[in-house]
Structure 1
């Protein structure tokens, strides 16, 4: 972005009293990550008042700042725009910049796999277009506007991750971003406590079509009946399903895993063999929407193949981590819900990477009233013939522990509510160069702490 302060003031319909020619190159809400030329946006919360950091923002290179009208002692010798509501101003600026921007916008949502799908898409397209994507977890009512406002003028593809915890949130984000293409990766159980059922989750994710361009396309998990039913109810919607069922527009078959990644064949709108340097059948499914999008953006099969071969995911997504002790970890500890937990377990049980296979599992959060049932049901996915040892962490994993006592002898199963060191010590005593250990739990469980002891 390169706009004058006066142009930005016009975006949010306020007067620019002075410094109207000051050039703004982006926005920031955090002085720790501010860049030269940013517009600093201070938020006032219960415990932190961002206005206290305005002077520091200018010291670090901010070109201007917003300031709430009812906040006392505004700067008198610096470029300032006075607003009634900082969040609303941020969103209106993003709306205006999005209206002016010529990039193709892609919105990505889903219960699991949003970040992986975003990363796969961006990585695949980067050799052929100038691509920018959501950084980190900037996927909410603040993060999406910030991502839009930090797009370069010449960006050709913008991949925006859209998260939510309740109804109406995806609708707001998609109407702000107005994507040309939308992706729904899957429907799981995350946010069950807020949305009540998987049907509710599906409806909340499906809100992404409400901001879709008139000639836009929805790419969705065609293996999910809840999504298929919603798609069927929208006669005017252009959509393409992807997955493993043969009824999809793009189907993956013949999936093979190596230490370097996953090789698979696709049939349908695109045909041929592809490879991604990422582990897991569920990650193969996440790559299918990228293949469809690449095709619809005009890439050849060979270009899609080349792009996928260079894919790189954000850390803690089925990330292979070797250690000096010879133990091989799969760090999938960024988040967890029953669907993604079972997918990761299935991968470990079916892979031939190592013969001594371990599970280190942490609590799954935000599952609502049925959280005990969801934890207990994970036991059905665990094959005691394929898994050597299981370590469980967190208060909720006590439910799974009680179920697994019927499958594993005491010396092969352990549980702790809050002590990482117990798990670390257990691994050091029993794991070796033949061991493959999956780390999987909700973000709040921070299971990567276990891995840190082996780095």
Structure 2
């Protein structure tokens, strides 16, 4: 982080506190404070940073940002109305110190993978800042922007939300030159009530865009394909929709990769990505389009996508003792669950296709219906064995059995599910793990690697 004048920072945060000096880093945790840090006393459900204001100074902080009285000298405190809002304001002020190409990404599903693919493409030409993991909220996004320095030429910033107004704040702080929206699904529908409201909330991403900027939308999404806004240059990407500006055709899935052709600007480009599923082809199209609009050669974009490495437990494919494991349990929603089961069903397999599923969280009153729909879908597809764990996932098995799938079993604890899987898995099988992150299915995956 480049050095900033404390008095100017206080003004940017809307404070009349009289402070002086300079800062060279920002922290929200006293364990990471460096000499010259500005410490933001944030609050959470289980913590209050104000309790550590004195400790922050002891550790070397130059100043503290607080929204209530703290027992340290007044000339070492910037008082604000809300430290959480001030943290966003700080990020906005700091971002204004730099001139670089920033791309904002949101969507109900696929935003993290799309962000990673866009970053891979941008890095082929520019030094690129990107959101780490899923640091995509009002705390994580400022931490990303505050990593900027003069060496960065571009960036890709992921934006998440659960209610109206949240993406507005993130995009105003970021001031991107381009925005991408992947899918309008049903995640957070308990807060927003309908997919139409989710669309409205996601399109707040345009609030930080200048007029005439590119707005890249998934043209295969039934809501996004109908978006009209004369303030922006809308580009549609897709597979099925013939009206898209850029399309993928002739998809061919291998064991752990997908080949396809990209039709763009009256040209055809052969491409391949090291992951499977139509949804990942759509993510790659968004990344390719972002790259060419930022003046990266199409051939360079294609090579960057080939070199892309899936991160975390996002459809990471592992060969183990003669069978294949797909680690896809970083998050889950009805849309991503459908994509996972459909992709598993279409994979070439010498043995059985086994789906190990657990709960999709944050669905509210839609939880039972969504889990039942997942089970019914599994019964219709080419899946030989369905194993589930979690209170809501019992509805998956109920619906699968009602639809005629006899090899569907629910377990009340992970150990029993693991024991069943250990007895069942054979050479040539594909085992696909899918659940929300909070269900911790990786515990079963790790035991499988250790013992089977």
TM-score, normalised relative to structure 1: 0.90
| Counterpart for residue 12 of structure 2 | 11
Q: Is 1:218 equivalent to 2:215 in the alignment?
A: yes
- 1:267-286 superposed matches below 5 A: 267-269=263-265, 271-286=268-283
Q: Is 1:175 equivalent to 2:172 in the alignment?
A: yes
Deviation per residue, 1:57-88 (Å, 9 max, x gap): 5677x643424263332269x96544443122
| Counterpart for residue 311 of structure 1 | 308
For residues 135 and 342 of structure 1, the distance between their equivalents in structure 2, rounded to whole angstroms, comes to 26
Secondary structure (helix, strand or coil) at the match of 1:365 reads: coil
Secondary structure (helix, strand or coil) at the match of 1:120 reads: helix
| Counterpart for residue 48 of structure 2 | 49
Number of positions where the alignment pairs a residue of Structure 1 with one of Structure 2 = 446
* Cα displacement (A) at 1:404: 1.4
Deviation per residue, 1:408-452 (Å, 9 max, x gap): 665x321023x1111111111110221211111122222222112
Contact 2:95 2:148 in 1 (8 A): no
Contact 1:134 1:161 in 2 (8 A): yes
Deviation per residue, 1:362-420 (Å, 9 max, x gap): 1222223333222222234225672121101111122221121245665x321023x11
Structure 1 residues 88 and 339, CA gap change in structure 2 (3 angstroms) = closer
Contact 1:54 1:65 in 2 (8 A): no
Moved more, 263-272 or 39-48: 39-48
| Counterpart for residue 375 of structure 1 | 371
| Counterpart for residue 332 of structure 2 | 336
For residues 392 and 44 of structure 2, the distance between their equivalents in structure 1, rounded to whole angstroms, comes to 32
Contact 1:252 1:264 in 2 (8 A): yes
Structure 1 residues 15 and 239, CA gap change in structure 2 (3 angstroms) = same
Q: 2:409 aligns with which of 409, 414, 421?
A: 414
Moved more, 140-149 or 177-186: 140-149
Q: Is 1:246 equivalent to 2:245 in the alignment?
A: no
CA RMSD between the two structures: 2.4
Contact 2:422 2:448 in 1 (8 A): no
TM-score, normalised relative to structure 2: 0.91
Unaligned segments of structure 1, at least 5 residues? none
* Cα displacement (A) at 1:259: 3.3
| Counterpart for residue 112 of structure 1 | 109
Structure 1 residues 187 and 264, CA gap change in structure 2 (3 angstroms) = same
For residues 119 and 223 of structure 1, the distance between their equivalents in structure 2, rounded to whole angstroms, comes to 21
For residues 98 and 135 of structure 1, the distance between their equivalents in structure 2, rounded to whole angstroms, comes to 17
| Counterpart for residue 26 of structure 2 | 27
Structure 1 residues 369 and 18, CA gap change in structure 2 (3 angstroms) = closer
| Counterpart for residue 399 of structure 2 | 403
Unaligned segments of structure 2, at least 5 residues? none
* Cα displacement (A) at 1:160: 0.9
* Cα displacement (A) at 1:15: 5.8
Q: Is 1:160 equivalent to 2:157 in the alignment?
A: yes
- 1:52-63 superposed matches below 5 A: 52-54=51-53, 63=61
For residues 32 and 254 of structure 2, the distance between their equivalents in structure 1, rounded to whole angstroms, comes to 38
* Cα displacement (A) at 1:104: 1.0
For residues 209 and 234 of structure 2, the distance between their equivalents in structure 1, rounded to whole angstroms, comes to 11
Q: 1:438 aligns with which of 432, 435, 441?
A: 432
| Counterpart for residue 201 of structure 2 | 204
Contact 1:134 1:144 in 2 (8 A): yes
For residues 67 and 313 of structure 2, the distance between their equivalents in structure 1, rounded to whole angstroms, comes to 42
Contact 2:376 2:399 in 1 (8 A): no
Secondary structure (helix, strand or coil) at the match of 1:155 reads: coil
Secondary structure (helix, strand or coil) at the match of 2:387 reads: strand
Q: 1:362 aligns with which of 358, 363, 366?
A: 358
Contact 1:125 1:294 in 2 (8 A): yes
Secondary structure (helix, strand or coil) at the match of 1:405 reads: helix
For residues 122 and 328 of structure 1, the distance between their equivalents in structure 2, rounded to whole angstroms, comes to 28
